[in-house]
């Protein structure tokens, strides 16, 4: 794979509206593509796909997005924009780990962790392990690092002795470089009513059938295979394992209907069957 792992957010017919909102809110956001049902943009260099998938799922805070701001003025302006119709998870202010930080759920349900301070990358996904998954963030970090050939750990920060309800030694923040991008992960024992689901998935673009087979087999171990290139790993994180050629095929108006008909019958994508459609 040559493209970084990228998040895909499930929205109910509001992809184009959301993209316009983010392009207005983030000074570095730009549109990459807008073919229904997928709108794709770049925010802080992070590729973000917005899928008009209908009302079945919606994003939740189990996967949020860190965004590094360069100044207090920038974070204040961005917080104001994202707060319109949104709801704070952690109020904007000074924290022991950052001179200024805030966590906001915006009007479309996406969660942003805004920060003035040191981060390994301008923008990247953050995975929060809650409920039965709490305490498994470090295990997941090791698994993903072993699956992706460029995998390596970055910062590891642990809860101390007085962090109840979180267990001492579990991760309150950890960094992982994998699949061409940084990600972060953390444990939280708080009684949240959300966990990983299709609301936010992670998109892996593969060059050939061998890559598809490899990532499909490794990431689905202990999890569940889904349809149309989707799978659920052992922690419940949803992944889309997709061949690069699919985008080219769908861009051809004459072939696109046949290609869609073919992949709707697939679990794991089969490149040759797509090419023959």
pLDDT single digits (tens) 3-55: 999 999 999 999 999 999 999 999 999 999 877 788 999 999 999 999 999 99
Q: CA–CA separation, 229 vs 8, rounded Å? A: 13
Tokens found for residue 270: 């089969």
Question: To the nearest whole percent, how much of the chain has pLDDT over 70?
Answer: 100
Dihedral, 18, 22, 23, 25 alpha carbons, nearest 10 = 140
In the 8-state DSSP scheme, what is residue 131? G
Please report the domains of the chain, with CATH numbers, ordered by start residue: 55-187 (3.30.720.110), 207-276 (3.10.180.10)
Q: pTM here?
A: 0.95
| The pLDDT value given to residue 247 | 84
Is 135 buried (19+), middle (13-18) or exposed (0-12) by CB count in 10 A? middle
| Residue keyed to tokens 């949240």 | 192
User: pLDDT tens-digit profile of 155-202?
Assistant: 999 999 999 999 999 999 999 999 999 999 999 999 999 999 999 999
Quick one: pLDDT band at residue 248, thresholds 50, 70, 90? confident
Q: CA–CA separation, 230 vs 217, rounded Å? A: 12
User: pLDDT tens-digit profile of 206-230?
Assistant: 999 999 999 999 999 999 999 999 9
């Amino acid at each position: 794979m040559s493209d970084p792992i990228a998040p895909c957010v499930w929205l109910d017919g509001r992809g184009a509206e959301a993209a316009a909102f983010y392009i207005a809110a983030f000074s570095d956001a730009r549109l990459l593509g807008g073919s229904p049902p997928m709108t794709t943009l770049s925010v802080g260099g992070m590729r973000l796909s917005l899928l008009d998938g209908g009302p079945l799922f919606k994003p939740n805070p189990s996967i949020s997005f860190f965004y590094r701001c360069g100044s207090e003025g920038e974070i204040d302006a961005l917080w104001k924009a994202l707060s319109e119709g949104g709801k704070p998870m952690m109020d904007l202010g000074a924290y022991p780990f950052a001179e200024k930080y805030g966590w906001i759920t915006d009007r479309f349900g996406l969660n942003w962790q805004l920060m003035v301070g040191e981060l390994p990358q301008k923008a990247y996904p953050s995975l929060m392990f809650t409920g039965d998954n709490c305490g498994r963030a470090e295990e997941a970090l090791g698994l993903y690092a072993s699956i992706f050939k460029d995998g390596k750990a970055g910062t590891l920060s642990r809860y101390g002795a007085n962090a109840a309800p979180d267990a001492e030694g579990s991760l309150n923040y950890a960094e992982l470089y994998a699949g061409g991008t940084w990600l972060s992960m953390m444990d939280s024992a708080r009684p949240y009513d959300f966990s990983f689901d299709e609301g936010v998935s992670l998109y892996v673009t593969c060059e050939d059938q061998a890559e598809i087979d490899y990532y499909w087999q490794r990431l689905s171990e202990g999890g569940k295979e889904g349809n149309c290139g989707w799978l659920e790993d052992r922690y419940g994180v949803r992944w889309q394992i997709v061949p690069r050629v699919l985008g080219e095929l769908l861009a051809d108006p004459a072939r696109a209907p046949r290609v869609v008909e073919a992949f709707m019958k697939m679990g794991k994508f089969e490149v040759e069957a797509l090419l023959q459609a």
